[in-house]
Structure 1
Amino acid sequence: MKPDQIARLLAQAIREGLYAPGSSLIQEDLASRFRVSRSPIREALRMLSAEGLIIMPPGGQGATVRTLTRDELIEIYDLRLLIEPSLAKPIVARGTAAEVDALRRLDDQMAAATEVSAWMRLNFSFHELMYEMAGRPHTSGMVANLLSLSQPYSRHNIDKLGGREQATSEHALMVAAIETRDADELARLITDHLNHARTRLLDSLPPAEESDPLAILRG
């Protein structure tokens, strides 16, 4: 297995909470799980470190999943609110019928999903596809990275704070806006979608002066 494949699988595991923020990523254990030597594991960890998903000391030993502070989560959502609604116009201008159908299938699968991890995986795929439809790979890549950073915390929003049903229904409205080529409506829906998730998540966190970003993951 190549380092980029290992990196993608580890990133997915981090997004889905299999490796929670603060968790150690031990090269020997990972090499055993992926049935490879430590060399591709080390390279995969370097890739994840470059994306900001993990903290990796020189040499790779002692790598841990990045833990975000309350202020960092606020910054990530502020960035997403700046970037994602701006993609609405190119999405509706460039999106194809096949891509709209693919988005609708993902939303239907989310509505039927019984496991939170499966829902989170589908949610990432939904947003990744929607923003790739804009045809702006650098921007969609930035958004995918921000989503990867925030998704371990978004899981708490979905699993514990009741955000799952609302998010799924909001996705359906986004698909409808793309299908009708209504860029203004899509931008509004994306903004509302992010604000709802941001508010639920931040309201569940302790105040900044008492901030323990792992607290919501221990409950």
Structure 2
Amino acid sequence: MQNSYNDDRAAGVAEHVSPPSLPRLARPRLHDTVVEHLRQFIVEGVFAPGTKLNERELCETLGISRTPLREALKVLAAEGLIDLLPNRGASISRMSEAEVRESFELMSGLEAFSGELACERITAAELAQIKALHYAMLACRAQNDLPGYYSRNQEIHDRINEAARNGALRQTYQSVNRRLQALRFRSNQQSGKWDEAVEDHEEMIQALEARDGKRLAAVLKRHLLEKRDAVLPLVSGDATGTRNLLNATHA
């Protein structure tokens, strides 16, 4: 029996991980927040790819019943963030190396197109909001606050996509981006990579202010491909390396 267990670990079988100790969800906000809470756990690496989720422990941790939890899991499964298998429950989805490469390549094109259109259609008020988010993001970087930085970072990208005012583009962008958020979060774990991302964002703001669509498209495309190159080693099939990276992040 011991040998079988060790063989499973060596083969990369997902280990059960208990949820963190977190404040319970307020009942009036339950339906609006449970998906958001679980999505944040996945993005920030609280649950590593391949982790099997324990419904009972999650319900106890969040102070909810199984019905809203299972509804939330269905939403996350539709987004491609978790896998729901009959008689096996829910586990965090693990993207293959090919899926990661192809998804980042697609996202680089979607973001570049968003940038071009945004430079044509963005309003002064929208630009001011993006600049305010940029300064807040820089403050988080100065405090080494990766979750705060990432939240504002992603809102900047999302606002640029919104400013493109193209419904079909937005729908595709949101669908692809949901699966990449956890990897985009991890791409800034090394200080050098984080600082390079900040420099890219400085250039994005400059291009937006100048309404230079070609320049913004080029910066966004490079930015996403650099993230692809930063995260590919994390999903090369080395499950141990992924766990070590997550342990280092939360140490």
Alpha-carbon offset, residue 7 of structure 1: 1.2
Q: Which one is further off, 45-54 or 29-38? A: 29-38
Q: Which residue of 2 aligns with 1:215?
A: 241
- Deviation, structure 1 residue 176: 1.8
Checking the alignment, whether the CA contact within 8 Å between 1:3 and 1:43 is kept in structure 2 is no
Superposition deviation, residue 16 in structure 1: 1.6
Q: Quickly say closer, same or farther: Cα 1:138–1:46, change in 2 above 3 A.
A: farther
Q: Which residue matches 1:111?
A: 138
In structure 1, the residue matched to 2:103 is 76
Residue in 1 aligned with 2:72?
A: 44
Question: Please, what TM-score do these two structures have when normalized by structure 1?
Answer: 0.86
Cα 1:218/1:143, change in 2 over 3 Å: farther
Could you tell me how far apart the structure 2 residues matched to 1:104 and 1:214 are? Answer: 40
Counterpart CA distance in 2 for 1:83 and 1:213 is 30
1:189 partner letter: V
Give the counterpart letter for 1:107 in structure 2. H
1:28-67 map, 5 Å: 28-58=56-86, 62-67=89-94
Q: Which amino acid aligns with 1:162?
A: G
Asked whether the 8 Å contact 2:112–2:217 carries over to 1, the reply is yes
Cα deviation for residue 47 of structure 1 reads 0.4
Q: Partner amino acid for 1:55?
A: D
2:15 maps to none
User: Higher mean Cα deviation, 7-16 or 65-74?
Assistant: 7-16
In the other structure, the counterpart of 1:17 is 45
* Match of residue 189, structure 2, among 135, 155, 159: 159
Q: Which structure has the bigger radius of gyration? A: 2
Shift of 1:205: 4.4
2:81–2:178 contact (8 Å) kept in structure 1: yes
Q: Matched residue pairs, number?
A: 214
Q: Which residue does 2:33 correspond to in 1? A: 5
TM-score by length of 2: 0.76
2:218 corresponding residue in structure 1: 188
Query: How far 1:88 moved relative to its partner?
Result: 2.2
Percent identity, aligned pairs only, is 28
| Alignment correspondent of 2:9 | none
**AA matched with 2:73:** L
Alignment of 1:69-148 (within 5 A): 69-113=96-140, 114-148=144-178
